[in-house]
Amino acid sequence: MTLLHVKQNYAQNMCTPRELVQQIKECIAHFSDNPIWLHVLSDAELEPYLTRLEHAKMEELPLYGVPFAIKDNIDLAGIPTTAACPDFSYLPERSAYVVERLIEAGAIPIGKTNLDQFATGLVGTRSPYGACQNSIDSAYISGGSSSGSAVSVALDMVVFSLGTDTAGSGRVPAAFNNLLGFKASKGVVSTSGVVPACRSLDCVSLFCKEASDVSTIFEIMASFDEEDVYARALPPQKSTIPFNFTFGVPKASDLQFFGDTEAKVLFEKSIQRLIGLGGIPKVIDFNPFLEAANLLYSGPWVAERYFATQTLLHTSPESFLEVTRAIIAQGEMKKASEYFEAEYQLKAYRRAAEKILAEVDFCVTPTTGTIYTIEAVQADPITLNSNLGYYTNFMNLLDLVAYALPAGERSNHLPFGITLFADHFNDRALLEMGERYRKESV
């Protein structure tokens, strides 16, 4: 399930989009015990997309017949959006802007995928529809909140999927399912038609198996949406990353692996791989990034989650999972003065981060320090979820672009991933670096 494979099959008349969709439905049925999907489009719902392709020329549509999945906090016209909360469900008349662009390019929406309720979590277990299981070992978490989106790609149900990323939801599931997860600069991909988590921070993210697919699909997604007040047009590429590049690495005392010694070894190997590609490592002060990360849930930004759900929270609090309700309800008590205090702190962290980023071409960290079983997360949902955000929570607060890449596997075959990040609008340069890294590691 890659762009190249699907296009070759069509070009060689090995199958049609209609036949591929039926094969996908058989695959989905085979994994029906894993709550990956919240809504799979029926034959009748798929028909308009398939009929259009049968009257189109393959060479005119860059994503002709390419199946994709949509996280169920992103609208698809005529299909319920639930955000993993049945009582919140509504039927959108129009698809999200980014979904419209992908469908225009020929992609086929297969359905809506499971998520941590209201995109609040990094674990994939906070859903009334069930905990999404890891694609490699069902005892382990899939990662969240874009759980079903990642697993649908990992299990070859679709070529790519859309997630969202506020605190790491488009990167953590990538790491846990051996995928690439790209989180563009804020505003470069429209969030029109997306249920807000923290609207000022939210990004629509992309999961794929091939780096070249990420680059191709991103160019279609990165369409300026003038109706999205948070949209920003991606300017011409600032620069490419040179052959002899410098990359930042947190100092050893700032790295956390939470007892996962294999992850530590795999991260060290990824550093050596970057050196082999021409990289020169530079130890950086990671503290400004960590301090910014602490603001996301301890600071006032949780009030944005409350604002987005306050009506249902007050009229039907039982509609929320207990852990989701506890997190979001904190936002009601946040004061405007707390926001400005945190905003001033964040500006200072941003200035410190700018100085660090100016001295390197990009930085690299683990995507997460470790991975947990579903049972462990259910026993300690807050602490373990927090651990997973150690390397992810600061990205959108500090206005950075991030690319999660597979970087080896543990002895139990569970994958490990790294994340490359840089200042905003370095999207294409980071995508090129991701392709270089993947070519070396595959």
Catalytically annotated residues: 71, 145, 169
Structure tokens at 380: 């300690």
Pseudo-torsion of CA 392, 397, 402, 404, nearest 10°? 20
Could you write out the DSSP letters of every residue in 121-172?
-SSS---TT-PPBPSS-TTBB--SSSHHHHHHHHTTS-SEEEEEESSSTTTH
**Mutual angle of helices 3-11 and 211-221, in 10-degree steps:** 90
DSSP-derived 3-state class of residue 74: strand
Alpha carbon of residue 152 to chain centroid: 13
> What span, in angstroms and rounded, lies between the C-alpha atoms of 86 and 97?
23
Coil, strand, or helix at residue 371? coil
Query: What is the per-residue burial (b if ≥16 Cβ within 10 Å, else e) of 102-130?
Result: bbebbbbbbbbbbbbbbbbbbbbbbbbbe
Provide the sign of the torsion angle of the four alpha carbons 119, 166, 40, 52, taken in this order.
positive
- Give Cα 356 distance to the centre of its chain: 25
Following DSSP, what letter does each residue of 99-115 receive, concatenated?
HHHHHHTT-EEEEEE--
Spatial distance between the Cα atoms of 151 and 289, rounded to a whole number of angstroms = 29
Cis amide leading into 192 (omega within 30): no
Rounded to an integer, what is the distance from CA 1 to the centroid of its chain?
19
Reduced to 3 DSSP states, what percent helix, strand and coil does the chain have, rounded to the nearest 5? 40, 15, 40
CA contacts within 13 A on the Cβ side of 142: 32
Spatial separation of the C-alpha atoms in residues 260 and 257, rounded to whole Å: 5
For residue 363, what are the β-bridge partners?
Answer: 248, 421
Q: Which residues of 345-384 are buried (b: 16+ CB within 10 A; e: fewer)?
A: ebeebbebbeebbeebbbbbbbbbbbbbebeebbeebeeb
